[in-house]
Amino acid sequence: MTKLVDLVKRMHVKLGLLTVPSQNAQQVADLMVEAGIKGIWNFAPAALNVPQDVYVHQEDMVASLAILIKKMGATELQDLHK
């Protein structure tokens, strides 16, 4: 994981996507913060504890899937009425 920290620092990365199992999410988030990441898009089903100057967007995959299915269903219903 030190490669991650080194790469993020060297490339001046400020935004990261977190896509790890929930049991690893906090550990990886800590490394991201240590490296200088200021925004985390969290796809892991885990709440993260980060400093106040780091922003986290928690992506809810189940809710996103439900919205997608609903939109697909609405489109298919419209197609049936044409």
DSSP letters spanning 11-75: HT--EEEE-S-HHHHHHHHHHHHHHT--EEEE-SSS-----TTSEEEE--HHHHHHHHHHHHHHH
Q: Which CATH number fits domain 2-80: 3.40.50.720, 3.20.20.10, 3.20.170.30, 2.60.120.1090?
A: 3.40.50.720
Q: What residue spans define the domains of the chain?
A: 2-80
Provide Rg for the chain, Cα atoms: 18
Q: How far apart are CA 29 and CA 73, in angstroms?
A: 36
DSSP state of 1: -
Place of tokens 């990365």: 13
**What is the chain's pLDDT, residue by residue, as a tens digit (82 residues)?**
789 889 999 999 999 999 999 999 999 999 999 999 999 999 999 999 999 999 999 999 889 888 988 888 866 656 655 5
